[in-house]
């Protein structure tokens, strides 16, 4: 069949398909879409095989691509439903990647505890990790004698700190995750580095004796913040491991598969860090409450985090 006849014969059908895809004309029957899609795809194949002009092939290809988008664009490749992710998706992603999560937690907390105790016993070690000014700054932050924490802060200071924590902490978490693509080495580095830094700072503050200001401050948001950093490291390690040991897949395929779970973990850690920033700015910073209240609420947050990660969405998990 000559191209002109082919075009003349099928142009009305292509027009109808195009209009249906755009959805302008309400009088057309939408139920015909699947059939038309099939026919147009067939026409594309015929046109290629008969070597019709590139222009015709382009036009048909455009229609087929648009149709393909309509039919396959909404597949739940990354289910973005917020509540589903909070309740089921994220905790399940953490549980089903337990080896990476344990590795992340270990790489973050073990150096943290080691340097906590080292700085507890030596008052000089901290200076080989941070500059003198840095040490003085954070000592002053938790100095019970200083009035910064002793008075109730203005609410606009809380707001500023909230935004600072978002900017800083989520940035660190993204960095820890993203650098995992280098065979996990980046995540490994950032986990250990942040672990050492935070552990050393905590150890030093304890050694100086500012425990009554420091621990009530950090115990609340720490539940979400510290675990979230470890989780984002775990997501990075998962990417890295997919490259090191891809199993039955090719490396790049393994990386794509790993990214599916990793992105859910990143969503979750981002949400946890937002929550942590909120608590840190508006709850942790308030110093009018007695220490016992802050410790109990802090313990409550830790328990909540652990229960959430271990149990949330389990029953639906089994049903799937």
Partner 1 sequence: MQADLAGPVVRSLAFVIDFSIRCLAMFIIMIAALLLGGNVGWAVWLLFYFLVEWWYPVLFETFRGGQTPGKKAMGITVVNDDLTPVTLGGSLIRNLLRAADFLPSFYTFGLISMTMHPQFQRLGDIAAGTLVIHKAAETSAPSLPDTTPAPPPFELHESEQTAVVELSLRHESLTDSRQQELAAIVAETMGKKPDSALNYLRSIGAWLLGSR
Q: Which residues bind partner 1 (CB under 8 A)?
A: 1-7, 44, 51, 53-56, 58-59, 61-62, 64-65, 68-69, 72-73, 75, 77-78, 80, 154, 156-157, 159-160, 162-164, 166-167, 170-171, 174-175, 177-179, 181-182, 186, 239, 252, 255-256, 258-260, 262-264, 266-267
Q: Which has the closest alpha carbon to 110: 191, 206, 27, 213?
A: 191
Which CB atom, from 71 or from 102, has the smaller least distance to partner 1? 71
Which CB atom, from 162 or from 241, has the smaller least distance to partner 1? 162
DSSP code, position 181: G
**Least Cβ distance, residue 306 to partner 1 (angstroms):** 27
Which CB atom, from 68 or from 314, has the smaller least distance to partner 1? 68
**Least Cβ distance, residue 90 to partner 1 (angstroms):** 13
Which CB atom, from 159 or from 303, has the smaller least distance to partner 1? 159
Identify the helix (H) or strand (E) that includes residue 313: none
Which CB atom, from 113 or from 167, has the smaller least distance to partner 1? 167
**Least Cβ distance, residue 22 to partner 1 (angstroms):** 10
**Least Cβ distance, residue 52 to partner 1 (angstroms):** 8
Burial of 139 (0-12, 13-18, 19+ CB in 10 A): middle
**Least Cβ distance, residue 2 to partner 1 (angstroms):** 3
Q: Which has the closest alpha carbon to 211: 120, 115, 299?
A: 120
The answer to whether 4 and 57 have CB atoms below 8 angstroms apart is no
Which CB atom, from 284 or from 305, has the smaller least distance to partner 1? 284
Locate 250 and state its tokens. Answer: 């090719």
**Least Cβ distance, residue 110 to partner 1 (angstroms):** 25
Q: Which has the closest alpha carbon to 276: 233, 234, 219, 231?
A: 219
Burial of 84 (0-12, 13-18, 19+ CB in 10 A): middle
The answer to whether 287 and 157 have CB atoms below 8 angstroms apart is no
To which residue do tokens 């200001």 refer?
Answer: 213
To which residue do tokens 């840190």 refer?
Answer: 280
């Amino acid at each position: 069949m000559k191209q002109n006849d082919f075009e003349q014969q099928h142009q009305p059908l292509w027009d109808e398909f195009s209009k249906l895809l755009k959805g302008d004309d309400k009088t057309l029957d939408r139920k015909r879409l699947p059939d038309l899609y099939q026919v147009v795809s067939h026409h594309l194949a015929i046109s290629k095989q008969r070597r019709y002009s590139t222009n015709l092939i382009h036009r048909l290809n455009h229609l087929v691509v648009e149709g393909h988008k309509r039919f396959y664009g909404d597949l739940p490749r990354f289910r973005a439903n917020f509540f589903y992710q909070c309740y089921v998706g994220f905790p399940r992603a953490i549980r089903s990647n337990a080896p990476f999560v344990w590795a992340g937690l270990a790489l973050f907390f073990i150096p943290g505890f080691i340097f906590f105790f080292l700085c507890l016993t030596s008052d000089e070690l901290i200076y080989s990790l941070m500059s003198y000014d840095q040490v003085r700054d954070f000592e002053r932050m938790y100095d019970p004698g200083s009035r910064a924490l002793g008075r109730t802060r203005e609410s606009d200071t809380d707001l500023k700190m909230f935004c600072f924590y978002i900017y800083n902490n989520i940035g660190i978490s993204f960095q820890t995750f993203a650098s995992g693509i280098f065979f996990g080495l980046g995540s490994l580095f950032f986990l250990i580095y942040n672990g050492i830094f935070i552990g050393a700072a905590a150890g030093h503050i304890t050694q100086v004796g500012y425990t009554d200001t420091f621990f009530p401050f950090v115990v609340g948001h720490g539940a979400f913040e510290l675990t979230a950093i470890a989780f984002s490291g775990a997501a990075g390690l998962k990417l890295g491991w997919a490259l090191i040991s891809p199993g039955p897949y090719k490396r790049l395929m393994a990386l794509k598969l790993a990214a599916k779970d990793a992105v859910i973990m990143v969503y979750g850690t981002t949400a946890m860090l937002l929550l942590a920033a909120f608590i840190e700015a508006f709850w942790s910073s308030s110093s009018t409450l007695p220490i016992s209240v802050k410790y109990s609420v802090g313990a409550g947050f830790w328990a909540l985090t652990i229960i959430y990660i271990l149990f949330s969405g389990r029953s639906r998990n089994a049903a799937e």
